[in-house]
Amino acid sequence: MSNPVTLLASRRHTLRSEAIGETFQIDVALPNAWTASSAGPLPVIYVMDANTVFGIAAQAFRFLQNADGLPPALLVGVGYELEGPSRRRSDYGGLRTRDLTPTFDADFHEQVAGRAASGVGPAGGADRFLDFLVEELRPFIAGLYEIDPHDQTLVGSSLGGLFCLHALFTRPGAFQRYVANSPSLWWDERRTFAQEAAFAAAGRDLPGRLFLSVGGEETAEPWAMVRDLERLADTLVGRGYPGLSLTRHVFEGETHTSVIPAALSRGLRTVFA
């Protein structure tokens, strides 16, 4: 006889988004030695793609608190109900593409034609997803836990990293810390660079701490992840945004998937340093 394994001091909630028309699976990891009466208002770390990375993130988060000075915080994983009556596990790719991308990429759509999830809307829903995070999920979490509304961190890899940058450029100040690993800057003819240029032309500041990272093996064309990340970091440094604290890191020898644990650890330590 076997029993299911659960993560210590973690809780699962579901939340229906009116902005998107989707029920999300929300996993929460409490800080070490957390008690409702003594912890005080907690920073919140929102992690995208929780269906695949929440366990890694939660364990890294706890180890970092034990030995590396990460402060007590609430880690919130945002994922999908993939075993329920309306969603299948095979829908995952289509769901994250819908929610984490800022635009519709015709070339990408053509590549995945025939493999898209049924009943899932097209790519380009990042604005609605950002509305969900800020206007629906954040009050939901605040109603359950004592949080610090002025200390919010956004973490994502790949399309999740692209989403982090979209949030930074479209709603600066909504989050105070960003960990954007292997961001898919190739999306829609590298639209993020045009987005940043328009932001800079408006003369606005980018307040916050940003950790940009990529695996050193992510060099294959046409994605050119390392080259694009270096280009974006150089651009941001050149702008001289007064409120932006930027750190970049290339994890030598790591691939698009193997880099994720290293990026979570280094990224959280960096933005909370």
The most distant pair of C-alpha atoms in the chain lies apart, rounded to whole Å, by 63
244-271: pLDDT as tens digits: 999 999 999 999 999 999 999 999 999 9
What's the number of CA atoms in the CB half-sphere (13 Å) around residue 9? Answer: 15
In the chain the domains, ranked by start, together with CATH numbers, are 10-271 (3.40.50.1820)
Instruction: Tell me if 27 sits within 8 A of 55, measured CB to CB.
Output: no
**218 catalytic per annotation:** yes
Instruction: Tell me if 55 sits within 8 A of 30, measured CB to CB.
Output: no
Alpha-carbon torsion, ordered 123, 248, 53, 269, to 10 deg? -140
Residue for token digits 């919010």?
Answer: 152
Instruction: Tell me if 142 sits within 8 A of 13, measured CB to CB.
Output: no
**158 catalytic per annotation:** yes
- Both structure tokens of 219: 């060099």
94-114: pLDDT as tens digits: 999 999 999 998 888 766 654
What is the pLDDT, as a whole number, of residue 114? 44
Residues 6+ apart with CB under 8 A from 40: 146
Candidate list 158, 182, 184, 213, residue with the active-site label: 158
189-242: pLDDT as tens digits: 999 999 999 999 999 999 999 999 999 999 999 999 999 999 999 999 999 999
Residues 6+ apart with CB under 8 A from 183: 156, 158, 161, 162, 164, 165, 192, 212, 214, 229, 232
Candidate list 196, 213, 256, 265, residue with the active-site label: 256
Candidate list 17, 184, 213, 218, residue with the active-site label: 218
Q: What is the mean pLDDT of the chain?
A: 92
Separation of alpha carbons 194 and 184, rounded Å: 14
